[in-house]
């Protein structure tokens, strides 16, 4: 049996890749995909930990996270389209009307 | 508590069910009547109905200390009742604002707007009354996702869609961190229920645990816009329609603060020593950065956004204090109510002033407030009261007492340095609040400039009057709210202790505010 720590390490690596992607990439759709990557990394953790702790709460949590990710995709892409309509671009660098 | 029975449990969430039915009904009616109906009034009616049921239940003493329903997934305790009352009240005010000024906000799709507003409120209530971390996450996402759409609801305003995009990307980024923290906590204990977590984590001390707590806190601190997770706040507050900004500054912030209290005092109280140090630093930089950057803002909406960051910092001061013994919890709940009244009123005034030039990016500049006292004396007088309240200067008594409770609890817990930094910060903040008053009362408009007279509806005038009365009355008679806040916190932090009534609580010493204090 593959030890839980392997899954957790993989999950941490994927989560980190997602987090770095959000900070480095400038295309809103790619940033959004990186966020989905982070959520799925957490799902992997949940399933692995569910096996190691011996109850099913973690597996159930994954379903909820998947629903949240799907809803996020619907809302997020709609927002990106609305943004594209007003600026003709999906680059986050073009979101500069309101200055920090 | 399964002995309640299914019927009673459903009865306890009836406000949520009413809101859900209302959200669906608004959408459907809007489709069939093709937008030719007063959706705002209907939404207000739904909120009042939910308020009535929750009040009825609350007076029926059905919200018992530590009571959990639906297999322990939701709390139905006094803190939930407190959250329900506060959120519904603030939502009713926001809906009334929207009812009068939605056209000037350039929001075309009124049905969707009101429906999403109800859904956000549902999410906020679930977020603040979750008894389990996954439920808390779901409440957070329900609340946030409807809110992302609301921020972008002024489709023809470029700043609106930009603020929606920024809020969406940063918001889902931060909630992914929170979810990862929840997964790690689950791995350490095998449970996500809040009291069970506290029991299993008692005495535990490991690096993974601290990482997990830190990750969950990132999600919360983002939502309450604490520095260094505040970068979204000014842009989103400025770009979103003003009614939504008012909603974010009050309901969303209060919901995140109450959920954060449930997490730090309910789930990880045993690890307090580890996060109070970080919280000390974050509270100081949140107050200071918020106040210093607010000094140089020209847009009043943006200035209020930075001020809301600073107020989150004041509340974080009391989070390091023992919630019951040193009065930290009651101070935060009191501050939340006071801040809600003051900032709702302030944003309502900004909304009225900005609606004189709808859709213009500089409609809320401070110069638009010049000589407001001559054209709209009532508007200027209430705005002056809210500004004084936010600065903590009489006659804005609620803000003054809120700060007093927070800093006195900090002093009681031995955080004297923190209290001094907080008081210095309030002094800095007085500058930018008073600047608005100076503009309204002492600056004459330029000779050739045509001053637009902002239109003030009956509903908004009523809201402003109610908020003003609230700001003064809460401060002059603080004992009713403060005592019930203390009972609420006590029954949440220590639910197994005997039920304490407000009458018994009054017998215990309360920090008395004395005007002769230096």
Q: In Å, how far from its chain's centre is CA B146? A: 16
What pLDDT score does A92 carry?
86
Nearest CA in chain A to B179: A42
What does the pLDDT read at residue B326?
A: 86
Contact B161 A64 (CB under 8 A): no
Q: Residue B225: list chain A partners with CB under 8 A.
A: none
The residue ranking higher by pLDDT, B500 or B465, is: B465
Question: Does residue B509 carry a pLDDT above 50?
Answer: yes
**pLDDT tens digits along B408-429:** 999 999 999 999 999 999 999 9
Encoding tokens for residue B365?
A: 């500049």
B18 or B68: whose pLDDT is higher?
Answer: B18
Report CB contact under 8 Å: A98, B163.
yes
| Residue found under tokens 């993974």 | B208
**3-class DSSP state of B434:** helix
DSSP string over B338-375: HHHHHHHHHHHHHHHHHTTSTT-TTTTBGGGGTTHHHH
At B514, the pLDDT band (50, 70, 90 cuts) reads: low
Asked if A76's CB is within 8 angstroms of B172's CB, the reply is: yes
Mean pLDDT for B383-395 is 93
Cα–chain center distance at B186 = 28
**Integer CA distances (angstroms), B411 to B321, B390, B419, B423, B513, in order:** 9, 21, 6, 12, 14
* pLDDT for the residue B470: 93
Mean pLDDT calculated for residue range B367-386? 91
Are the Cβ atoms of B145 and A46 closer than 8 angstroms? no
pLDDT of B517 higher than 50:
no
The vertex-B48 CA angle with B47 and B49, nearest 5°, equals: 90
Domain ranges of chain A: 4-93
Average model confidence (pLDDT) across chain B? 89
Q: How far is CA B275 from CA A90, B73, B210, B211, B215, in A?
A: 39, 26, 8, 11, 12
* CA closest to A71 among chain B residues: B145
pLDDT tens track for B63-112:
777 788 888 899 988 899 899 999 999 999 999 999 988 888 888 888 99
The alpha carbon of residue A16 is apart from the nearest alpha carbon of chain B, in Å, by 10
Q: Is the pLDDT of residue B498 over 60?
A: no
Taking the C-alpha atoms of residue B455 and residue A81, their distance in angstroms, rounded to an integer, is 34
pLDDT band at B248 (very low <50, low <70, confident <90, very high): very high
Query: How many residues can be counted in chain A?
Result: 100
List the structure tokens of B189: 């204990």
Q: Which residue of A has its CA nearest to B144?
A: A72
User: What average pLDDT score do residues A57-66 get?
Assistant: 95
- Candidates A9, A58, A64, A72: best to mutate against B (most CBs of B within 10 A) is A72
B63 and B147 Cβ atoms separated by less than 8 Å: no
Whether A82 shows a pLDDT value over 80: the answer reads yes
Q: Which residues of A touch B172 (CB under 8 A)?
A: 32, 35, 72, 76
Whether the CB of B163 is below 8 Å from some CB of chain A: the reply is yes
Rounded Cα distance between B443 and B367, Å, is 9
Interface of A with B (CB under 8 A): 8, 15, 18-19, 22, 28, 31-32, 35, 38-39, 41-42, 45-46, 49, 52-55, 57-58, 61, 64-65, 68, 71-72, 75-76, 78-80, 82-83, 85-87, 92, 95, 97-100
Phi and psi, residue B168, nearest 5°: -65, -50
Q: Which of B362, B199, B320 is nearest to B270 (CA)?
A: B199
- pLDDT at position B106 is 86
- pLDDT band for position B452 (50/70/90)? low
Which residues of chain A lie closer than 8 angstroms to B161, CB-CB? 79, 82-83, 85-87
Least confident among B191-200, B307-316, B434-443, B497-506: B497-506
Query: How high is the pLDDT of residue B68?
Result: 86
**Among B339, B474, B489, B337, residue whose Cα is nearest residue B409:** B489
CA nearest to B140, candidates B152, B122, B153? B122
State both tokens at B433: 């609040």
Distance from CA of A37 to the nearest CA of B (A): 10
Chain A residues in contact with B141 (beta carbon < 8 A): 68, 71-72
Contact A38 B173 (CB under 8 A): yes
Supply the pLDDT for residue B173. 95
Listed residue (B200, B180, B178, B163) closest to B130, CA to CA: B178
- Nearest residue of B to residue A87 by CA position? B158
Mean pLDDT of B165-177: 95
The mean-pLDDT minimum among B278-287, B325-334, B491-500 falls in B491-500
User: Is B280 within 8 Å of chain A by CB?
Assistant: no
Answer whether residue B39 shows pLDDT above 70. Answer: yes
Closest Cα in chain B to A43: B183
Q: How far apart are the first and last CA of chain B?
A: 50
Task: Tell me: pLDDT of B287 over 80.
Answer: yes
**pLDDT at residue B270 in the model:** 85
Average pLDDT over every residue of B377-395: 93
Pick from A28, A38, A82: which is nearest to B152 by CB? A82
State yes or no: pLDDT of A50 exceeds 80.
Answer: yes
Judged by CB atoms within 8 Å, which residues 400-459 of B form the interface with A? none
Judged by a CB distance cut-off of 8 A, whether residue B234 touches chain A is yes
Q: Do B138 and A68 touch (CB under 8 A)?
A: yes
The whole-number pLDDT of residue B3 equals: 60
Under the banding of pLDDT at 50, 70 and 90, the label for residue B1 is: very low
Are B165 and A95 inside 8 Å of each other by CB?
yes
| CA separation for the pair A23, B181 (Å, rounded) | 19
Q: For A91-100, B384-393, B417-426, which range has the lowest pLDDT when averaged over its residues?
A: A91-100
Residue of B nearest to A30 (CA): B169
Residue B130, CB half-sphere, CA atoms under 13 Å: how many?
Answer: 28
Q: How confident is the model at residue B344 (pLDDT cuts 50, 70, 90)?
A: very high
Residue B278 confidence (pLDDT): 87
d(CA B265, CA B263): 6
Give the phi and the psi of residue B389 in degrees, each rounded to 5. Answer: -60, -45
List CB contacts (< 8 A) between B177 and chain A: 19, 38
The band of B28, judged by pLDDT with boundaries at 50, 70 and 90, is very high
Hey, which of A87-96, B155-164, B245-254, B509-518 has the most confident mean pLDDT? B245-254
What is the fold of A4-93?
Helix Hairpins (1.10.287)
Q: Indicate which of A7, A13, A95, A96 best probes the interface with B, i.e. most B CBs within 10 Å of its own CB.
A: A95
pLDDT score of B37: 85
Task: Count A/B contacts: CB-CB distance under 8 Å.
Answer: 124
Provide the pLDDT for residue B368: 87
Secondary structure element (H or E) that encloses residue B133, with its range: helix B133-151
Chain B positions in Cβ-Cβ contact with residue A72 (cut-off 8 Å):
141, 145, 172
B20 has pLDDT over 50:
yes
Give Cα separations from B45 to A24, B25, B42 (angstroms). 47, 12, 5
Whether B181 shows a pLDDT value over 50: the answer reads yes
Q: What is the pLDDT of residue B518?
A: 36
């Amino acid at each position: 049996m593959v030890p839980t720590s392997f899954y957790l390490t993989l999950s941490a690596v994927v989560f980190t890749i997602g987090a770095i992607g959000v900070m480095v990439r400038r295309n809103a759709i790619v940033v959004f995909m990186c966020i989905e990557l982070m959520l799925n990394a957490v799902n992997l953790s949940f399933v692995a930990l569910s096996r190691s702790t011996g109850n099913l709460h973690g597996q159930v949590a994954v379903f909820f996270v998947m629903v949240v990710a799907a809803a996020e995709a619907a809302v997020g892409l709609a927002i990106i389209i609305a943004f594209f309509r007003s600026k003709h671009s999906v680059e986050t660098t073009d979101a500069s009307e309101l200055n920090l | 508590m399964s002995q309640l029975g299914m019927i009673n449990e459903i009865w306890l969430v009836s406000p949520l069910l009413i809101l859900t039915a209302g959200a669906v009904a608004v959408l459907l009616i809007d489709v069939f009547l093709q937008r030719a109906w007063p959706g705002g009034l209907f939404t207000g009616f739904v909120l009042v109905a939910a308020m009535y049921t929750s009040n009825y239940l609350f007076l029926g003493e059905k919200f018992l200390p530590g009571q959990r329903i639906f297999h322990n997934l939701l709390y139905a305790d006094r803190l939930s009742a407190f959250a329900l009352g506060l959120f519904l009240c603030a939502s009713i005010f926001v809906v009334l604002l929207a009812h009068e000024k939605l056209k000037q906000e350039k929001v075309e799709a009124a049905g969707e707007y009101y429906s999403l507003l109800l859904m956000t409120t549902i999410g906020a209530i679930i977020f603040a009354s979750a008894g389990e971390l996954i439920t808390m996450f779901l409440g957070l996402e329900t609340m946030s996702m409807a809110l992302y759409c609301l921020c972008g609801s002024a489709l023809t305003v470029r700043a609106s869609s930009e603020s929606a995009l920024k809020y969406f990307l940063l918001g889902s980024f931060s909630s992914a961190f929170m979810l990862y923290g929840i997964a790690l906590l689950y791995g350490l204990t095998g449970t996500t229920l809040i009291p069970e977590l506290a029991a299993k984590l008692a005495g535990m001390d490991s690096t993974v645990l601290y990482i997990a707590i830190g990750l969950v806190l990132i999600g919360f601190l983002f939502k309450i816009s604490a520095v260094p997770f505040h970068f979204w706040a000014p842009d989103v507050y400025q770009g979103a329609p003003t009614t939504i900004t008012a909603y974010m500054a009050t309901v969303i912030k209060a919901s995140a603060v109450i959920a954060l209290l449930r997490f730090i005092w309910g789930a990880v109280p045993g690890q307090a020593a580890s996060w109070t140090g970080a919280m000390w630093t974050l509270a100081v930089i949140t107050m200071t950065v918020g106040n210093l950057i607010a000094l140089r803002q020209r847009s009043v909406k943006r200035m209020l956004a930075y001020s809301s960051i600073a107020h989150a910092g004041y509340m974080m001061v009391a989070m390091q204090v023992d919630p019951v013994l040193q009065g930290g919890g009651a101070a935060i709940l009191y501050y939340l109510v006071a801040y809600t009244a003051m900032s709702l009123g302030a944003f309502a005034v900004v909304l009225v002033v900005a609606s004189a030039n709808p859709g213009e990016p500089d409609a809320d500049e401070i110069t638009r407030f010049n000589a407001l006292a001559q054209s709209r004396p009532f508007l200027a007088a209430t705005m002056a009261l809210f500004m004084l309240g936010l600065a903590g200067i009489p006659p804005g008594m609620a803000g003054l007492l809120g700060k007093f409770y927070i800093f006195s609890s900090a002093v009681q817990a031995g955080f004297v340095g923190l209290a001094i930094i907080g008081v210095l910060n309030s002094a800095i903040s007085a500058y930018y609040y008073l600047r608005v008053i100076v503009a309204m009362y002492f600056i004459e408009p330029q000779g050739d400039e045509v001053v637009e007279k902002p239109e003030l509806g009956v509903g908004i005038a009523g809201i402003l009057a109610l908020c003003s009365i609230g700001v003064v009355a809460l401060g002059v008679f603080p004992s009713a709210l403060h005592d019930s806040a203390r009972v609420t916190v006590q029954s949440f932090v220590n639910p197994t202790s005997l039920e304490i009534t407000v009458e018994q609580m009054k017998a215990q010493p309360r920090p008395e505010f004395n005007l002769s204090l230096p």
